[in-house]
Structure formats: structure tokens, C-alpha cells
């Protein structure tokens, strides 16, 4: 194991300084901060500053409380998170994306963008060759990568408040603010709200089904979404009762699963057939009643606009239209 | 004079303890089932008295939990514990090295390599009631055995040092390969690592049957040679002078142990300590005579592993602690205690 981690910590040093990157002078930074408020949560603030003239330079506090200065409208963005990549496309800023991670697989046009590697250990060299003016990261991003990139002079913002729906909307608004897509961000949020509202109207609070979300099972161990996870929040929002809501974290026991015998089970669509055939899962009532559904885990595990589709899917499964 | 506990006590006590441990372990777990109810469920399945046990008030799912989750798990843990302890005892004797353990021959790394290939590729599928990882792990182990065999036993060689070196080298090579695979498929890294840590959480009856076959086969092949192994431990030359073909015996014993270890590691990952420590514990209690050491190691290995696995799945329920961590945490202090006691009474280490 030591070998693995020493390989991971091998640091890359670029050959040259990133071209075109000049450090802002102290005076311009101070005047920028004093002129504009921190833009983050309320889309309304973005609209007013739009009419007041140029948004940039913009000061923004990210999720770690680090202040980043965005000089001008970002034109070359590297996204270090699948949810951010999706969000940028949703905001109509997809063409500005020049780099993504190996895990950014949606929408399809994202696949044609150059990849910079993994989320926690992106290739700094590749990022340098892409010459971005903004790097946006989310969860899993490491302190080491953050320092490596900021030391080279890159502007890095980390948005990572996704343990509930409000946090997700905050991220949408923040990214929208940075990209000068405040109106698009607002309409995204409104669309999300609307879709979720109409979906949850179908919930019958008297008859909520008990639900289990199988992250993994069998030889790989039993893991599910505990009470403190985002997935749990979505399940509850969609009118399901997560049988694992009393645990924290992800580690579960197959005994408890059989004991609680949930009405509905959700599995990764690629593992559905295996689940139904494996002992002791095949003895579960949900399997016998045909209430095990294969879903695309990205719809509920990856925080972002697609969670609206995720909620719609969950509601349709929990409360099938008669 | 070596201290010896009356052998009969051990021959009766240890198997009895095993039965007690099996029944009590199958009665506890993460699910909320009263111990008395668990006992009823277990008893109801016994051939003669089964019909007299009243199980009408027990929920059907509790039957599934006890009979299809806990019982196979306890049985598998016991069988793997036996297998590892038996191979450990055999290898320690055959290599005349008290530090030999089942994983020293590189087979476990072979199994781990096979499993990591299966996990990285995302192999699913259910084969004979076992997952793709188990099958691939077993294949990996078999391939490794044949490689180590070819290197270690080539020509006139068969010396212990050669075998150990071959095993260690192959093991290092495979570990490096696993590391590279883990880095290339970072998203599966956790799964590979957790597999290697060892677990009985996916125990099923087909796996139990697989282990029964391998363990019985190994016992049939090893136990008759117990006395010859005693002679072998005096040295190759003195053994040969007494009519034992030392090299052949050693080779046979290593191959049989390897197959047994391959089966154990394929179904449960790499669980350290049991194969190393249990034979030593038995030696401290009843001496090094293989006719006693080997069978008693089997029973003791089963008890040890079942106890460790039961703790692994109940201490932090419903979370599970890797059983390998428990085997080390329990085994090491207990062994040190036995050793200290033995030394204190003037017995050599």
C-alpha cells in the first residue's frame, strides 16, 4: 500500500510558467474587493451588478473560505468535478470548457474535451498545457492539488456544499455568478424546483414505501446511503423511507437488509441481474415482487441539475401511476 | 520436560468448544433476533429433534438470516480458519521454519491479483453460486502455484530456501502488478483493497461446499503422512536415512497446502495471522507431534476464525470491521501471553 501512495504523491513540475498569467497588483485587488461584495448565494445580487456595469474583476469566497479573484470573464475553464462539468454545460458555458476529469461523462459532448486525469490527483502538467484561466473543483479534491495549482498562479475555486438540495442550488448560483450566467443559473434553479414540486405532488404520505439503495453488495461488501448522505436526502424527498437512515456513513450489513426487508430496492442498472441472482439477496421480498429497479446512479449520487430527473424517477418508482 | 496438558482433555475439549462456538456465533449478529429464537431455528433443522422444536412465532426472514446468512458465514469462517491453520502447521513443519505461514508461497498474492483483475474489469456474473471475483481469484492462485512450483522444484532443487525465495519473488511481482492496476483504475481502488483485507460477508453454501471439498481432500492427503512429517523435521539427511524421500514428501505437502490456501483465499481474501499463530498455540499446549498438532490446529483454527469473524461483524454493527484486523488484534496478544507463560516455566521458545 505504501507503494501506491508514494506513486500518487509524485509531484509534477511544469517546464514553464503558465503564459499570459500576470499577478494582479495589490492596489487593483484591494479596489476590486472594496467595489464588489462577495458574490455567492443570492442570484438577485448578480442581476443588480450586471446592470451596474462589468461584473469583473470579481471576488468570490469558495466553500473552503478561500477568496479567489476572477479578473475577467473566464474563457478557458478546467473542471475538476463531474457535477461541475454538467453544470457548465447546463449553463450554456460548455464551449469554454478546455479540461475535465476522467469521470466527467455527461453530457456526451464532454467526452470530446481533453481529460486531466482523476479528481483527487489531476495531472498538473496537463492542466498547465491547457492554459486555463479558471479551475473549478468540488468534492474529493485534495489540499495538495489545491496548493500545487494555486502556487503556480492559477485561480482555483472549490464548491462543495452538497449535502442537501439547498447546497446544490447554492453551487449552481455561485458558478452561474462566476460565469456571468446569472439568469441561466436562476432559470435552472427554478426549473429544478418546478420539476421537483410537480413530482412530489404524487407522494402519498400515508403510504410511504421502505427503500434500500444498494451502492454495492455481495463480494464487494454491503454499502448503502446512510442517514447523513445526500442520497438519503433525495430518497426521503421523493417520499421513500430509507431503511438505512439510522446509520451514518455507507457501511451496512446484509443481515439488517434481510431483517428490514424493504418494499423497494434500487441498484446500479449494470448490477441488477447479479443482485437478483445472488444469495441471500434473491430471498428478499422486493426481489420476489419485482420491486428491484436498476437506475443510473449518477442521477442521484452526482449533485446537480439532473437530480430533478432523479427525483422524478424515484417518485415514479415509489408511486407508480395506476 | 515439555509441559503437556492431558491429551484427552484437548481431544474432547477443543472439538466441543468448536460446536459451542458455531452455535453461539450463528445466534448473534447485526439483525435483532433473540438468541433463544436463533437456537430454535438452528435446532429445528437438525435431523432427529428438529420436529419437536416450536418455530411458529419466528418471522420467515429470521430463518433466512440465520440459515442463509449467518450459518454459511460461520461455517465458511470455520473451514477457512481450519484450512489456514492446517497449511500453516504443515508449512512450518516442512520448511522447518516457525515463521512460515500460508501466505509465504505467493499463492495469496496470485489470488489477490486474480481478484483485482476481476474487480478492475468490472466482472460480474455468478458462477456456481459464486461471484466472478472468487473464480478469478482461484484461477490466479492456481497459475501462481504452477509458476512457483516450476521455479522452486526445477531439477534437483527442492530445498527450502529455494521455495521460499520463489514464493517471495513471485509475491512481490504480483503485488506490484496489483498496485499498478489499483492506480490505473482509481475508482475501483477501494473495492480491491477491501477484498484483499479479507471478509466473510459474502459467504454462501457453494463456497462452503468448495471449502469442504478442499479441506477434506487435504486432510486425507496430509494426516496419514503426519508421522513422516515428524521424521522430516529432524533434517533431510536423517529422514532419508530412515527411508523417507524428503524432497518428494516436501513437494507433495507444499502442493496440497497450496491448493488448500488457494481455496481459502479465493473465497475470503487475505486473512493473516491465523495460519501463523494457531499452530504455535497448539504446540505450546500439546507439543510438536504432528499427529496431534495437525488435527488440533484444524479445530483451533476454526474456533479462532469464527470468534474473530463474529467480533468483526458485531462490534460495530451494522458496520463491519475487516476480519484480518481482528485476527491480528486478538491473536498477537494471546500468543504473546502463551509464550510468556511457557518461558516463565522454563520451557524453550
**pLDDT per residue as tens digits for the range A148-186:** 888 888 989 988 766 788 888 888 898 888 888 889 999
Q: How many other CB atoms sit within 10 Å of the CB of residue B133?
A: 28
* Domain housing B128: 7-344
Q: Based on the structure, what is the number of domains in chain A?
A: 2
Same domain, A57 and A177: yes
**Most A CBs within 10 Å: which of B319, B322, B325, as the mutation test of the A interface?**
B319
| Whole-number pLDDT of residue A6 | 42
The residues with which A213 forms a beta bridge, in sequence order, are: A266
Same domain, A305 and A229: yes
CA distance A176 to A172: 6
In a domain, A125, yes or no: yes
Which B positions 154-183 lie with beta carbon below 8 A of chain A?
175-176, 179, 182-183
Q: How far is A129 from chain B (nearest CA, A)?
A: 22
CA distance A68 to A29: 10
Q: Which of A159, A194, A229 lies at the terminal end of a domain, its last residue? A: A194
Same domain, A134 and A266: no
Question: In chain B, which residues have their Cβ closer than 8 Å to the Cβ of A9?
Answer: none
Same domain, A99 and A176: yes
Contact of B60 with chain A, judged by CB distance below 8 Å, is answered with no
What pTM was estimated for this model as a whole?
A: 0.79
Lowest mean pLDDT across A64-68, A132-136, B277-281: A64-68
Please say whether the dihedral angle defined by the alpha carbons of residues A169, A174, A175 and A179, taken in this order, is positive or negative: positive
CA distance A126 to A130: 6
Q: How far is B40 from chain A (nearest CA, A)?
A: 17
Instruction: Match 421513500 to its residue by C-alpha cell.
Output: A240
SS (H, E, C) B189-225: HHHHHHHHHCCCCCCCHHHHHHHHHHHHHHHHHHHHH
ipTM of the complex model:
0.76
In a domain, A4, yes or no: no
Which long-range CB contacts under 8 A does A182-191 form with residues at least 24 apart? A182/A43, A182/A46, A182/A47, A182/A50, A183/A47, A184/A90, A184/A91, A184/A92, A185/A43, A185/A46, A185/A91, A186/A43, A186/A47, A188/A90, A188/A91, A188/A305, A189/A43, A191/A305, A191/A308
Same domain, A180 and A229: no
Same domain, A82 and A147: yes
Contact of B127 with chain A, judged by CB distance below 8 Å, is answered with no
Q: Based on the structure, what is the number of domains in chain B?
A: 1
Contact of B64 with chain A, judged by CB distance below 8 Å, is answered with yes
Contacts of A125 (CB under 8 A, 6+ apart): A12, A14
The pLDDT tens digits of the residues spanning B24-58 come to 999 888 888 888 888 888 888 877 777 777 777 78
Which A positions 261-290 lie with beta carbon below 8 A of chain B?
261, 270-271, 273-274, 277-280, 283
Contact of A5 with chain B, judged by CB distance below 8 Å, is answered with no
* Domain housing A155: 31-194
Question: In chain B, which residues have their Cβ closer than 8 Å to the Cβ of A249?
Answer: 319
Compute the C-alpha angle B318/B324/B328, nearest 5°: 115
In a domain, B1, yes or no: no
In a domain, A247, yes or no: yes
Question: In chain A, which residues have their Cβ closer than 8 Å to the Cβ of B129?
Answer: 279
| Whole-number pLDDT of residue B71 | 92
Contact B31 A118 (CB under 8 A): no
Q: What is the mean pLDDT of chain B?
A: 86
Of residues A103, A247, A256, nearest to B31 (C-beta)? A256
In a domain, A23, yes or no: no
Q: Which three cell numbers stand for residue B264?
A: 481459502
Give B257: exposed, middle or buried? Use CB within 10 Å, 0-12, 13-18, 19+: buried
The more confidently predicted of residues A12 and B82 is B82
| % of chain A surpassing 70 pLDDT | 82
| Whole-number pLDDT of residue B88 | 95
Please state whether beta strands A156-158 and A241-242 pair in parallel, antiparallel, or not at all (unpaired): unpaired
CATH number at residue A128: 3.40.50.1980
Nearest of A104, A101, A110, A40 to residue A70 by alpha carbon: A40
Q: Which element (helix H / strand E) includes B226?
A: helix B226-232
Q: Which of A175, A194, A213 lies at the terminal end of a domain, its last residue? A: A194
Question: In chain A, which residues have their Cβ closer than 8 Å to the Cβ of B174?
Answer: none
CA distance B322 to B195: 9
Instruction: Match 461471484 to its residue by C-alpha cell.
Output: B131
Same domain, A234 and A255: yes
Q: Which of A165, A194, A223 lies at the terminal end of a domain, its last residue? A: A194
Same domain, A252 and A133: no
Evaluate whether B89 touches B294 at the Cβ level (below 8 Å): yes
CATH number at residue B214: 1.10.3470.10
Mean pLDDT of A113-123: 86
Same domain, A123 and A241: no
The more confidently predicted of residues B46 and A238 is A238
Same domain, A172 and A216: no
- What DSSP designation does B67 have? I
Amino acid at each position: 500500500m505504501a507503494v501506491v501512495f508514494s506513486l500518487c504523491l509524485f509531484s509534477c513540475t511544469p517546464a514553464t510558467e503558465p503564459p499570459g498569467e500576470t499577478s494582479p497588483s495589490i492596489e487593483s485587488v484591494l479596489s476590486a474587493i472594496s467595489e464588489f461584495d462577495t458574490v455567492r448565494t443570492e442570484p438577485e445580487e448578480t442581476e443588480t451588478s450586471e446592470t451596474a456595469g462589468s461584473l469583473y474583476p470579481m471576488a468570490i469566497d469558495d466553500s473552503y473560505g478561500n477568496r479567489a479573484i476572477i479578473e475577467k470573464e473566464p474563457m478557458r475553464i478546467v473542471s475538476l468535478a463531474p457535477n461541475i462539468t454538467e453544470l457548465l454545460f447546463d449553463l450554456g458555458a460548455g464551449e469554454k470548457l478546455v479540461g475535465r476529469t476522467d469521470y466527467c461523462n455527461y453530457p456526451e459532448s464532454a467526452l470530446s474535451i481533453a481529460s486531466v486525469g482523476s479528481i483527487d490527483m489531476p495531472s498538473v502538467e496537463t492542466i498547465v498545457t491547457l492554459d486555463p484561466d479558471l479551475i473549478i473543483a468540488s468534492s474529493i479534491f485534495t489540499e495538495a492539488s489545491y496548493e500545487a495549482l494555486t502556487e503556480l498562479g492559477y485561480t482555483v475555486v472549490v464548491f462543495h456544499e452538497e449535502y442537501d438540495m439547498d447546497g446544490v442550488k447554492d453551487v449552481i448560483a455561485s458558478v452561474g455568478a462566476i460565469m456571468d450566467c446569472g439568469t441561466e443559473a436562476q432559470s435552472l434553479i427554478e426549473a429544478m424546483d418546478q420539476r421537483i414540486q410537480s413530482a412530489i405532488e404524487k407522494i402519498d404520505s400515508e403510504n410511504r414505501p421502505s427503500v434500500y439503495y444498494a451502492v454495492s453488495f455481495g463480494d464487494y461488501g454491503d454499502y448503502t446511503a446512510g442517514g447523513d448522505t445526500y442520497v438519503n436526502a433525495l430518497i426521503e424527498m421523493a417520499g421513500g423511507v430509507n431503511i438505512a437512515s439510522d446509520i451514518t456513513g455507507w457501511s451496512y450489513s446484509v443481515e439488517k437488509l434481510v431483517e428490514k426487508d424493504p418494499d423497494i430496492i434500487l441498484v446500479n442498472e449494470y448490477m441488477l441481474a447479479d443482485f437478483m441472482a445472488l444469495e441471500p439477496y434473491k430471498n428478499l421480498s422486493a426481489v420476489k415482487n419485482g420491486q428491484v429497479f436498476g437506475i443510473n446512479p449518477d442521477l442521484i449520487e452526482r449533485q446537480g441539475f439532473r437530480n430533478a430527473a432523479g427525483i422524478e424517477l424515484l417518485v415514479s418508482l415509489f408511486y407508480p401511476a395506476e | 520436560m515439555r509441559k503437556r496438558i492431558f491429551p484427552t482433555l484437548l481431544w474432547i475439549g477443543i472439538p466441543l468448544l468448536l460446536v459451542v462456538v458455531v452455535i453461539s456465533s450463528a445466534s448473534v449478529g447485526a439483525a435483532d433476533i433473540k438468541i433463544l429464537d436463533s437456537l430454535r431455528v438452528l435446532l429445528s433443522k437438525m435431523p432427529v429433534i428438529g420436529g419437536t422444536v416450536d418455530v411458529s412465532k419466528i418471522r420467515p426472514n429470521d430463518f433466512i438470516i440465520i440459515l442463509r446468512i449467518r450459518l454459511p458465514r460461520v461455517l465458511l469462517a470455520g473451514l477457512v480458519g481450519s484450512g489456514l491453520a492446517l497449511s500453516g502447521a504443515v508449512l512450518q513443519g516442512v520448511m522447518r521454519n516457525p515463521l512460515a505461514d500460508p501466505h509465504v508461497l505467493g499463492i495469496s498474492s496470485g489470488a489477490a491479483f486474480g481478484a483485482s483483475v476481476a474487480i478492475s474489469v468490472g466482472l460480474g456474473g455468478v458462477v456456481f453460486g459464486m461471484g466472478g471475483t472468487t473464480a478469478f481469484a482461484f484461477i490466479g492462485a492456481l497459475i501462481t502455484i504452477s509458476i512457483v512450483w516450476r521455479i522452486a522444484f526445477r531439477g534437483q532443487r527442492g530445498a527450502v530456501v529455494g521455495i521460499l525465495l520463489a514464493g517471495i519473488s513471485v509475491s512481490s511481482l504480483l503485488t506490484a502488478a496489483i498496485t499498478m492496476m489499483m492506480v490505473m483504475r482509481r475508482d475501483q481502488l477501494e473495492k480491491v483493497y477491501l477484498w484483499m483485507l479479507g471478509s466473510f460477508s459474502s459467504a454462501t453454501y457453494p463456497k462452503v461446499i468448495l471449502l469442504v471439498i478442499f479441506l477434506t481432500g487435504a486432510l486425507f492427503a496430509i494426516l496419514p503422512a503426519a508421522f513422516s512429517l515428524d521424521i522430516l523435521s529432524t533434517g533431510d539427511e536423517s529422514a532419508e536415512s530412515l527411508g523417507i524421500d524428503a524432497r518428494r514428501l516436501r513437494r507433495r505437502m507444499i502442493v496440497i497446502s497450496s491448493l488448500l490456501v488457494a481455496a481459502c483465499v479465493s473465497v475470503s481474501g487475505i486473512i493473516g495471522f491465523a495460519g501463523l499463530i494457531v499452530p504455535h498455540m497448539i504446540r505450546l499446549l500439546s507439543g510438536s507431534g504432528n499427529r496431534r498438532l495437525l488435527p488440533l490446529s484444524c479445530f483451533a483454527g476454526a474456533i479462532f476464525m469464527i470468534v474473530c469473524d463474529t467480533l468483526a461483524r458485531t462490534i460495530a454493527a451494522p458496520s463491519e470491521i475487516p476480519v484480518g484486523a481482528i485476527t491480528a488484534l486478538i491473536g498477537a496478544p494471546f500468543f504473546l501471553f502463551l509464550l510468556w507463560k511457557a518461558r516463565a516455566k522454563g520451557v524453550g521458545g
